[in-house]
Structure 1
């Protein structure tokens, strides 16, 4: 379920039956903020890859839902895998954990 980190939904994820998915706009914003302060090849590449996801959305805007879903499934998987693999890289100024959206605790 995608719920923009609304804390009221946190109990739904605890049993493991419902998976939380983060918002790419929130993830992109965090990466962009880091990139502005400390530009690096990793942040540049992450922003480029996220741009690829946005391009898929732009290409399919206005098409039927089934077509959009098929395009997302066909074209976004490799981008998401590469983002996930690249998120383990860290710089001395970053925590040693993947960059991904987190649930709000408030």
Structure 2
């Protein structure tokens, strides 16, 4: 997880991941989207490949890069745990839900009494 977090800490690498989200791209196509040198883009791709976020596929003389989001799962789970409501917030949310349910039931009961 630390390696993945370190890899996505860089804005260029995050942008590369976004580019690869919808399609595979060659290194040249990726480099063409940035104002940094091709060797710099190549180093970013190597970091992403080494942590497993990007796979490469050789087709003829070209190398294409594809996103592999699987390594993000552990990081996403950890972040999700931080974003979940704390114990009290969870209990208050449950209480609010119960209050709304009870009000709905009472309104429905009153309607039934008025139509009877």
Same-fold call, TM cutoff 0.5: no
TM-score relative to the length of structure 2: 0.24
Bigger CA radius of gyration: 2
Higher RCO (CA < 8 A, seq sep 6+): 1
TM-score relative to the length of structure 1: 0.26
Is the helix fraction higher in 1 or 2? 2
